[in-house]
């Protein structure tokens, strides 16, 4: 009976030396446990999100050489693993060397060739080219290869045969997206089944964490195993990989699906593990129950893991957070504190004349609760100096030989405060503390650029920028109730009206604050960004007219009526935010810090955008006219 | 004899209303000039670089509706144009609606169907998916369609037939990359020829400007026309389009290639034009001579056009530039001054104790030469206040109930100056002046992050960030000699040693300055970034050992010997910059302003990267060991 080891390893992107060393260790471990087969994730050697590092020939050669070491290490155990495969004789469509995202099977020091393949490896067939995925940019697909060879993909897709003594196993090998074929014109799994009876399937993946994805995978992959009457081994890596602007955690969650479609074994999220299963026992195992947890528990786990690993990757042991007495910075503080420990955390409160005693006291209370480092650095003197210097310095017109003066608007003065806090104080404090300072923006602010560039938008990481405001509140409660088990974030911070406190118009003690009405705007903005079929003003207006807006957005009934007395108000609000979302906010996001992704659409590389200004369709303009006349 | 109008229009991305209005105007104009055919560029209605706006169904419907207006406008003239085509019944591989990058031919108010196509339009076959191009992300290719229909691309690719009176013309229709098939497995142009004799080819494009691309196109497309014995009409748009981080100018340069392969007509760069040619006359026309110009003339034209249009697009009529007395800010000032006029330009000199009279005087001299607005805002007082405030404010340890103090390092104090200038002074001055402030970084600095985040790296646009330092100097001379015809940039600025003047160690009067040795590092970094086969430290070391480094990099002979006495020095320098290039500089580029692209590899969307840290291959480590022992 085959003993199979699932190697849920941390893959470090762009560091084949470290990944190979880890694989060697896990192979030794599996051999010592008498495993027959060990399965590593997709792209286990190079990592998956590497930007255009795939264009460096020396890097490719290095990955291939490390791959040969792993093949050589298959003397006492069959090793299945993902790596880049290079055909130096052929080219990709960009004129660079031919690269495949490949699945290697090595036994007794040699590669096993799939039945009908021209190469001794399996080639990824379905290439994701949406969201954060860029597979087609670098990897040549099986479909293209088939066309080049004058054949069709169904003739090439074939199982590999593994021999153990007298027994032969037909193994169906899949790479990640190959198992998610719903919207593709071919289904690799079905094509594999046509050839011969498959003894088991292996799907090696490098699948970033997305809220809700695991539940869906259990349904889809469980069904695949059941319909094929064959177990399916899904092996995913853990770790952190990024596309520059967007950072993804990889949760592992490697799973064995029995031939009955049940979950026979499941590795824990975000933990490196070598998990052993016996092929023949799978159907007898009691199905693993996946504990039901609230969404926010998953989100917290992803954020904590992501922050921890990101800090590790960039060698940043300490963190500075500007603390305002508001909810976003408080949640960031509680999160980082948990990850780093209070001795590595410095909170800085930077009051101006507009900051209330309420928020100043709440800031201090939070810092006391955490027991971290704390500083109060007022900005009033510096802000006044800036205003006086700019309004007081003569501006010469050297053509007309005249001299004038500049005047700062109220909004300009608000932005001076925000930049004074981040670019002047926090950046300098962080370097003195041997730290980076965080950006605490949430997704609603990020959507419409409700922040100051080089001010509160600055930071080394925006850990909360993929969370809507209501999720930030949920996270605050979760941190208090579950993670800390006490009121670490003062209830006053949770209860206070959200406000930037940059002018007398934003006085929290008078209940004044942000122009965003989160119970509505969170959901409106989500429709712009996260809906798979993206909503734009035309859709919003159509839903509004049809009376189905709240249902479509997923916000509470009565919300629209509560905030907007007339269609004119509704339209003015819609256009205000749409103009910002597709205008100034794009410019701000271009210069925003990296964002930690948890949703199925995070800003950055996942949500590509151009600085093209806002646009309203003709139909929108007609509907608007109709509404305003009616 | 057919009279053909080339409509070299400005396409405004994401604004089908404006583009359609422009097309209607050009159609009227062409009709009044008795043209038989008018040819518009690829994606003339929606624009080409739209990020993920392609996912908005309302936008797609709008583009289709505008396309129908253009089809209806073909009553008196045959209209060839590019637009998005949508098949609402089918899906793309991302599960969203099926979209094609399509070529429409409309005659007498109706679409002409290509001979063997299932749709009444031509589908782009070759989909660029390298550099800044993302075609495969949104557009379904002809190859995929062929597979879906159970046929092959060569059966679908077919000409359209245009009737004029009794005469029928077989027209071979291509979309941009279809004409650049060298690295693809099929050649649309060859497949078109197999069907029938082609009377003429039309390649509609949306092809961003890249230094040297036009010369290559004349060779490639001229040869295509010659070999096919048929004229080829290349129609490209003008305008500015962006992918967020990277901004591209489109130069038009629409060209008619005669059946002999000569350039029979050529539209000017960056100008909207309706150009008329007679099909039958092409071979009699004297070949158009393309004037030979130095590279820097092309670069200047692209930059001036790009800056002008970008400012227009974001409604920014005025600009503020921090002026140091160094070369980069001086070139930026001379460039923006030319684009905006001196009354819309404000130069701000912000001296600290480390700025020499030399650079202060040069700054003033430059401003006087330009005759623009000028301010001197010293930063010393503010910088001192920041240092005192941060070093003087107690830092409480709330767990241990202790109080400590922070200390700023010399480097931290340099960064405080840089941020004080940009985030405190320039940002506030710009808002008071009704302007944005520029980032003047060049490509060498951008490569290794030799700049301060929220300091000199900040700005609304980095117009020079795709120029190596030696190109910035060339541009300075070109501005003086050709554009202004006088010494607008003082010779002292061109002659002075490049220096940040942030400490006593960077005293320009003592000839001290940047750690970058541009005559070598410009070329080393170019090999990292711009070489089609990207060089990494392993390649550099191999070339160094083989004595071919200068030749491979393209820098002057003797450069390596001049700067590096020993292999140890050479390696230390290589690793210093490689570590920065793939480490901290990536983090900085993530938050950098948009970059105006001119080279064949600009930072941003064109050069995708992950924050993965530096890596050295095993071979590199061996070579290094060998060199250091030897």
Supply the pLDDT for residue A140: 96
The residue among A506, A425, A463, A531 whose CA lies nearest residue B95 is A531
User: For residue A257, which phi and psi values (nearest 5 degrees)?
Assistant: -100, 130
Whether the Cβ atoms of residue B490 and residue B362 lie closer than 8 Å to each other: yes
Residues of B in contact with A136 (CB under 8 A): 129, 136
Supply the pLDDT for residue A513: 87
Write down the domain spans for chain B. 3-283, 295-513, 517-630
Non-local (6+) Cβ contacts of B375 within 8 A are: A393, A394, A395, A396, B346, B347, B348, B349, B429
Whether B241 has its CB under 8 Å from any CB of chain A: the answer is yes
Q: What is the mean pLDDT of each run of 10 residues along chain A (630 residues)?
A: 96 98 98 98 98 97 98 98 98 96 98 95 96 95 92 94 95 97 92 90 98 94 97 98 97 97 96 96 88 95 98 96 97 98 98 95 98 98 98 97 97 97 98 98 98 98 98 98 98 94 89 92 98 96 98 97 96 98 98 97 96 98 94
Whether the Cβ atoms of residue B58 and residue A539 lie closer than 8 Å to each other: yes
Residue indicated by tokens 């015809």: B485
Query: Topology of A3-282 in CATH?
Result: Nitrilase/N-carbamoyl-D-aminoacid amidohydrolase (3.60.110)
Supply the pLDDT for residue A535: 97
CA angle B267, B270, B273 (to 5 degrees): 45
Q: Which residues pair with A277 in a beta bridge?
A: A4
Query: Topology of A296-513 in CATH?
Result: Rossmann fold (3.40.50)
Question: Nearest chain A Cα to B60, which residue?
Answer: A617
Residues A137-154: pLDDT tens digits? 999 999 999 989 999 999
- Distances in whole angstroms, Cα of residue A601 to Cα of each of A129, A458, A530, A597: 14, 21, 5, 8
A358 class by beta-carbon count within 10 Å (0-12 exposed, 13-18 middle, 19+ buried): middle
d(CA B68, CA B38): 16
Are B395 and A376 within 8 A, CB to CB?
no
Supply the pLDDT for residue B185: 86
CATH of B3-283, one of 3.60.110.10, 1.10.40.30, 3.30.559.10, 3.40.50.2300: 3.60.110.10
Supply the pLDDT for residue A185: 86
The residue among A68, A133, A60, A117 whose CA lies nearest residue A92 is A60
Distance from CA of A564 to the nearest CA of B (A): 24
Torsion of CA B549, B553, B556, B557, to 10 degrees: 10
CATH 1.10.238.10 holds for B295-513: no
d(CA A91, CA A103): 20
Task: Name residues 383-442 of chain B within 8 A of A (Cβ).
Answer: 385-387, 389-391, 393-399, 406-409, 411-412, 415-416, 419-420, 422-425, 427-429, 431-433
Distance from CA of A6 to the nearest CA of B (A): 26
User: For residue A348, which phi and psi values (nearest 5 degrees)?
Assistant: -125, 120
For chain A, counts of helices (H) and of strands (E) = 23, 22
* Predicted-complex ipTM score: 0.97
A349 class by beta-carbon count within 10 Å (0-12 exposed, 13-18 middle, 19+ buried): buried
Whether A126 has its CB under 8 Å from any CB of chain B: the answer is yes
Q: How many CB pairs under 8 A join A and B?
A: 379
d(CA B328, CA A56): 31
Non-local (6+) Cβ contacts of A83 within 8 A are: A43, A44, A45, A46, A63, A64, A66, A67, A70, A102, A104
Nearest to A397 among B91, B373, B611 (CB): B373
Local structure of residue B83 (DSSP, 8 states)? E
Element housing B99 (H / E): strand B97-107
Whether the Cβ atoms of residue A460 and residue B418 lie closer than 8 Å to each other: no
Distance from CA of B168 to the nearest CA of A (A): 34
CA angle B33, B38, B41 (to 5 degrees): 140
* Optimal mutation site among A582, A611, A622, interface B, most CBs of chain B within 10 A: A611
| Strands in B108-199 per DSSP E | 110-111, 122-123, 160-164, 167-175
Non-local (6+) Cβ contacts of A124 within 8 A are: A42, A100, A101, A102, A103, A135, A139, A141, A142, A175, A176, A177, A178
Supply the pLDDT for residue B181: 94
Are B61 and A245 within 8 A, CB to CB?
no
Residues A159-199: pLDDT tens digits? 999 999 999 999 999 999 999 999 998 999 999 998 789 99
Torsion of CA A77, A78, A80, A84, to 10 degrees: 90
Residues of chain B short of pLDDT 50, as ranges, are none
Supply the pLDDT for residue A291: 87
Residue indicated by tokens 């975000």: A270
The residue among A339, A335, A363 whose CA lies nearest residue A349 is A363
d(CA B574, CA B561): 14
Mean pLDDT of chain A: 96
Whether B376 has its CB under 8 Å from any CB of chain A: the answer is yes
Question: Nearest chain B Cα to A342, which residue?
Answer: B399
A625 class by beta-carbon count within 10 Å (0-12 exposed, 13-18 middle, 19+ buried): exposed
Task: Name residues 142-161 of chain B within 8 A of A (Cβ).
Answer: 143-144, 147-148, 152
The residue among A268, A251, A266, A372 whose CA lies nearest residue A305 is A251
* Optimal mutation site among A15, A454, A465, interface B, most CBs of chain B within 10 A: A454
Greatest alpha-carbon span in chain A: 97
User: For residue B527, which phi and psi values (nearest 5 degrees)?
Assistant: -65, -35
Are A53 and B612 within 8 A, CB to CB?
yes
Whether B243 has its CB under 8 Å from any CB of chain A: the answer is yes
């Amino acid at each position: 009976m085959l003993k199979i080891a699932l190697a849920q390893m941390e893959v470090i992107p762009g560091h084949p030396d470290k990944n190979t060393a880890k694989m060697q260790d896990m192979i030794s471990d599996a051999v010592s446990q008498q495993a027959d087969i060990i399965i590593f994730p997709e792209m286990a050697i190079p990592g998956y999100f590497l930007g255009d590092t795939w264009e460096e020939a020396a890097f490719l050669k290095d990955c291939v050489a490390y791959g040969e070491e792993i093949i050589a290490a298959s003397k006492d155990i069959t090793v299945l693993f993902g790596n880049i495969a290079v055909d130096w004789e052929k080219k990709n469509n960009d004129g660079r060397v031919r690269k495949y995202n490949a699945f290697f099977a090595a036994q007794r020091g040699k590669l096993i060739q799939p039945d009908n393949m021209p190469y001794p490896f399996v080639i990824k067939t379905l290439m994701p080219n949406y969201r954060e995925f860029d597979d087609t940019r670098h990897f040549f697909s099986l479909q293209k290869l088939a066309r080049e060879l004058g054949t069709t993909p169904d003739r090439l897709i074939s199982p590999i045969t593994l021999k153990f003594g007298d027994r032969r196993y037909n193994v169906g090998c899949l790479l990640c997206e190959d198992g998610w074929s719903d919207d593709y014109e071919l289904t690799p799994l079905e094509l594999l089944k046509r050839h011969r009876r498959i003894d088991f399937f292996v799907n090696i993946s490098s699948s970033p964490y997305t809220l809700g994805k695991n539940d869906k995978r259990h349904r889809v992959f469980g069904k695949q195993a059941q319909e094929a009457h064959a177990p399916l081994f899904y092996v995913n890596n853990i770790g952190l990989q990024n596309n520059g602007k967007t950072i993804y955690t990889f949760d592992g969650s490697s799973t064995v699906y029995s031939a009955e479609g049940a979950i026979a074994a499941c590795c824990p999220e975000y933990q490196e593990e070598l998990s052993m299963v016996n092929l023949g026992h799978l159907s007898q195992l009691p199905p693993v129950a996946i504990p039901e947890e609230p969404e926010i528990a998953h989100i917290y786990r992803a954020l904590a893991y992501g922050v921890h690993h990101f800090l590790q990757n960039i060698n940043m042991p300490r963190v500075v957070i500007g603390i305002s007495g508001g909810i976003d910075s408080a949640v960031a503080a509680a999160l980082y504190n948990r990850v780093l420990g209070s001795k590595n955390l410095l909170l800085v409160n930077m009051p101006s004349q507009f900051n209330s005693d309420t928020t100043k006291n709440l800031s201090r209370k939070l810092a006391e609760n955490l027991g971290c480092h704390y500083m109060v650095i007022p900005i009033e003197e510096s802000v006044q100096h800036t205003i006086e210097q700019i309004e007081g310095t003569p501006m010469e017109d050297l053509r007309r030989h005249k001299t004038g003066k500049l005047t700062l608007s109220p909004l300009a003065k608000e932005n001076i405060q925000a930049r004074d806090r981040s670019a002047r104080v926090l950046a300098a404090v962080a370097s003195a503390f041997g730290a980076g300072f965080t950006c605490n923006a949430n997704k609603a602010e990020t959507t419409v650029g409700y922040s100051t560039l080089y001010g509160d938008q600055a930071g080394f990481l925006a850990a909360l920028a993929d969370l809507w405001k209501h999720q930030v509140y949920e996270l605050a409660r979760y941190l208090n109730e579950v993670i800390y088990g006490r009121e670490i974030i003062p209830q006053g911070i949770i209860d206070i009206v959200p406000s930037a406190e940059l002018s007398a118009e934003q006085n929290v003690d008078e209940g004044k604050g942000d122009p965003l009405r989160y119970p509505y705007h969170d959901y409106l903005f989500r429709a712009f960004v996260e809906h798979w079929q993206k909503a734009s003003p035309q859709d919003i207006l159509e839903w509004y007219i049809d009376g189905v807006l709240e249902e479509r957005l997923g916000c509470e009934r009565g919300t629209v009526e509560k905030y907007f007395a007339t269609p004119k108000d509704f339209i003015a609000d819609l256009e205000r935010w749409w103009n910002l979302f597709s205008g100034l906010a794009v410019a701000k996001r271009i210069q925003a810090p990296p964002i930690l992704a948890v949703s199925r659409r995070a800003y950055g590389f996942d949500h590509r955008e151009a600085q093209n200004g806002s646009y309203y369709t003709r139909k929108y303009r007609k509907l608007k006219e109709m509404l305003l006349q009616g």
